[in-house]
């Protein structure tokens, strides 16, 4: 099912890169490196399991979708990073 | 680095290092890749192990032992506690040193180790058969062929998924964890403390493990089903503010523990899963260091045998040996975990009261368990299975 836009946002500066979210993601939609993390937009179904799993509450769910990409530069880098690998 | 290997191990935690070590000892050429720049760091672990567990793999050494423990203390929701006797002793580790030592044992067997090496995909031939890995090593993309891939890539494992195994942990079984190593506190160095109850960690537990003078690992894990309502970090902050208001926080980390049965499949398409990646965790305690190393050892041995025999179908032997050694036990523990998680605070308090009435010599974990059984008779059959074999 097509979805309008990404609703899951990982606040990059706050993440501990622990991988708990990746472990519960049923869609293999999170790319995690040593200190980089990103949601792979095409796979994410906005199920929110990652939001619930995050021990530090750094994953946000935006009901209206993320229309403007996050301002943080690292978030943009991370999104590009996730795409560059596949 | 060579251009190809018999076996590539993805992840250099205890399970990965142990798999690599036994695979190399069995005569295979082995490369171990670690995504972080360091083996053993960051530490995402409460760090407690039993002496009996650890000596199967490495002789205890003071340089990676932060504390030697002889007692458990179980604290009920009403604050009363019971201290069961233990048969053996346990250790609180310095994982950053412990993991290094395990990697060194692997290196002594001839394993090559590369850090800052992130595996982002599997290499497959035209028939979809796994024939290697694709990695980003120090920011350079490199494909490395091999015959067998050992996925020791932890709770965040994706390698198994790429091989066609569903390794996703159900949110009911994933424990969302937070831990702080705190100092400047008064903490007994020979006791592992476990706190239970809805105020500290509903359905799970909070631990205070000594980490050397005036220092402890304080952490908790709770099922994602519960964390949905209130997160691990909130529970942890509240506990530390109340109990250790003046503590210095030396580290604070997040983590996830798959407190599930072993994955339905741990072998597929020339890939085997070990450790957290395979959900080889004791579902009651959440402990996964020793069981992951046991999985790693069996996996490494079987992988080496498959190489020697030139028969990769031999890998299915790993699943059988794991199931016989620990897999079946984890299934039983899983059912016990389900029962314990359903205990109300009142039940936990009454278990503690019953345990305190036991004469001291009977105040063992088994004795407390029997007290618990009075409150939950359905556990009886499950427990019987553990002790019968």
pLDDT score for A73 = 42
- List all residues of chain A from 5 to 64 with a beta carbon under 8 Å from chain B: 16, 18-26, 28, 31-34, 49, 52-57
Identify whether B250 is part of a domain.
yes
Is the predicted pLDDT of residue A75 greater than 50, yes or no?
A: no
Q: Which of B258, B285, B317 is the last residue of a domain?
A: B258
Inspect the interface and report whether the beta carbons of A23 and B256 lie closer than 8 Å. yes
Is the predicted pLDDT of residue A42 greater than 90, yes or no?
A: no
ipTM, 2 decimals?
0.92
Q: Tokens 């992130």 correspond to what residue?
A: B118
Pairwise CA distance, residues A54 & A51, whole Å: 6
Give the pLDDT confidence of B35-60 residue by residue, as tens digits.
999 999 999 999 999 999 999 999 99
Cβ atoms of B58 and B65 within 8 Å: the answer is no
Is the predicted pLDDT of residue B230 greater than 70, yes or no?
A: yes
B273 & B353 share domain: no
Q: Tokens 């099922």 correspond to what residue?
A: B223
Cβ atoms of B14 and B155 within 8 Å: the answer is no
Parent domain of A16:
8-84
CA distances from B334 to A34, B260, B266, B347, B364 (A): 31, 7, 18, 20, 21
pLDDT score for B340 = 83
Give the pLDDT confidence of B339-355 residue by residue, as tens digits.
888 888 988 888 888 88
Identify whether B50 is part of a domain.
no
B135 & B225 share domain: no
Distance to chain A for B227, nearest Cα, Å: 6
pLDDT score for A11 = 85
Q: Tokens 């497959």 correspond to what residue?
A: B124
Cβ atoms of B133 and B119 within 8 Å: the answer is yes
Inspect the interface and report whether the beta carbons of A24 and B255 lie closer than 8 Å. no
pLDDT score for B356 = 87
Closest Cα to residue B149, out of B307, B279, B321? Answer: B307
Quick one: pLDDT band at residue B376, thresholds 50, 70, 90?
low
Chain A residues in contact with B155 (beta carbon < 8 A): 18-20, 22-23
- The mean per-residue pLDDT over the stretch B92-114 comes to 98
Report the CATH number that the domain containing residue A46 is assigned in CATH: 3.30.70.20
Lowest mean pLDDT among B70-79, B246-255, B374-383: B374-383
Parent domain of B343:
337-388
More confident residue, A76 or B223: B223
Give the pLDDT confidence of B235-291 residue by residue, as tens digits.
999 999 999 999 999 999 999 999 999 999 999 999 999 999 999 999 999 999 999
Pairwise CA distance, residues B387 & B383, whole Å: 7
Inspect the interface and report whether the beta carbons of A20 and B155 lie closer than 8 Å. yes
Q: Which of B236, B258, B280 is the last residue of a domain?
A: B258
Report the CATH number that the domain containing residue B319 is assigned in CATH: 3.50.50.60
What's the structural domain count of chain B? 3
**Chains A–B, number of C-beta pairs less than 8 Å apart:** 95
Interface residue of A17, A23, A77, A78 to substitute, partner B, most B CBs within 10 Å: A23
């Amino acid at each position: 099912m097509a979805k309008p836009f990404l609703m899951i946002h990982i606040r990059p500066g706050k993440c501990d890169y622990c991988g708990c979210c990746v472990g519960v993601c049923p869609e293999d939609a999170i790319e995690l490196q040593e200190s980089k993390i990103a949601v792979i937009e095409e796979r994410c179904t906005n199920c929110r399991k990652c939001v619930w799993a995050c021990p530090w509450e750094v994953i946000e769910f935006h009901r209206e979708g993320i229309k403007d990409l996050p301002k943080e530069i690292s978030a943009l880098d991370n999104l590009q990073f996730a795409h560059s690998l596949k | 680095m060579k251009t190809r290997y018999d076996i590539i191990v993805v992840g250099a935690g205890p399970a990965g290092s142990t798999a690599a070590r036994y695979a190399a000892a069995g005569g295979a050429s082995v490369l171990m890749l670690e995504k972080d720049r360091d083996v053993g760091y960051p530490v995402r672990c409460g760090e407690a192990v039993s002496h009996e567990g650890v000596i199967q793999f490495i002789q205890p050494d003071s340089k990676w032992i932060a504390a030697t423990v002889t007692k458990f203390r179980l604290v009920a929701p009403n604050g009363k506690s019971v201290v069961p006797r233990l048969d053996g002793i346990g250790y609180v580790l310095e994982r950053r040193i412990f993991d290094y030592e395990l990697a060194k044992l692997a290196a002594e067997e001839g394993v090559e180790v590369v850090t800052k090496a992130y595996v982002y995909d599997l290499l497959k031939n035209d028939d979809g058969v796994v024939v290697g890995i694709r990695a980003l090593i120090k920011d350079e993309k490199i494909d490395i062929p091999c015959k067998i891939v050992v996925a020791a890539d932890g709770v965040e494992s994706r390698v198994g998924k790429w091989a066609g195994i569903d390794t996703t942990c159900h949110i009911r079984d994933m424990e969302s964890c937070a831990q702080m190593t705190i100092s400047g506190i008064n903490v007994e160095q020979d006791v592992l403390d476990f706190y239970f109850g809805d105020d500290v960690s509903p359905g799970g537990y909070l631990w205070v493990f000594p980490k050397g003078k005036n220092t402890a690992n304080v952490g908790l894990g709770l099922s994602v089903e519960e964390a949905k309502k209130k997160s691990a970090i909130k529970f942890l902050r509240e506990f530390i503010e109340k109990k250790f208001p003046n503590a210095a926080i030396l580290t604070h980390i997040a983590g996830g523990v798959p407190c599930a049965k072993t994955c339905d499949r741990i072998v597929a398409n020339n890939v085997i899963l070990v450790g957290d990646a395979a959900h080889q965790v004791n579902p009651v305690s959440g402990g996964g260091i020793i069981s992951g190393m046991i999985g790693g050892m069996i996996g490494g041995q079987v992988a080496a045998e498959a190489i020697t025999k030139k028969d990769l179908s031999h890998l299915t032997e790993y699943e059988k040996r794991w199931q016989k050694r620990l897999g079946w036990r984890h299934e039983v523990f899983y059912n016990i975990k389900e029962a314990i998680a359903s205990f109300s605070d009142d039940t936990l308090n009454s278990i503690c009261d019953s345990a305190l009435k036991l004469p001291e010599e009977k105040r063992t974990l088994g004795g407390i368990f029997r007290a618990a059984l009075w409150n939950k008779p359905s556990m009886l059959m499950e427990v019987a299975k553990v002790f019968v074999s």
